[in-house]
Amino acid sequence: MPANQATSASWIQMNPGVCGGAACIRNTRHTVAGLVQWRRLGLSDERILEHHLDLNMTDLEAAWAYYLQQPEEIEKVIREDEEV
């Protein structure tokens, strides 16, 4: 398994009791979908990290890698969030 897949697999967690089971950064309530939405709003990785001190660059890299591997899953979560 390539390193980025191993990192994203170990860094991303899905727990039914946390954020409705959406893919989250390990041991946080930061969803991959939420991070993708922030990036779409124009926030740089550096800006995200400035405002969320519990995240680091490895967390963001894992989120971006997961999104590339599972775009349909993340887009579905984003659509559902927008409908609420």
End-to-end Cα spacing for the chain: 37
**pLDDT band at residue 84 using 50, 70 and 90 as cut-offs:** confident
Angle 71-82-66 from CA coordinates, rounded to 5°? 20
Which value, to the nearest 10 degrees, does the dihedral of the CA atoms of residues 38, 9, 67, 48 take?
A: 20
On the question of pLDDT at 81 being above 50, the answer is yes
Q: Alpha-carbon distance 32 to 14, whole Å?
A: 10
User: Can you give the pTM of this predicted structure?
Assistant: 0.85
User: How does residue 3 score in pLDDT terms, banded at 50, 70 and 90?
Assistant: very low
User: Tell me: the pLDDT tens digits for 5-59?
Assistant: 444 556 899 989 999 999 999 989 999 999 999 999 999 999 999 999 999 999 9
Which pLDDT value is given to residue 1?
Answer: 35
Domain chopping of the chain, boundaries: 3-83
Q: Residue 31 forms beta bridges with which residues?
A: 24
Question: Quick one: angle between helices 71-83 and 32-40, nearest 10?
Answer: 80
Query: Yes or no: is domain 3-83 CATH 2.40.30.200?
Result: no
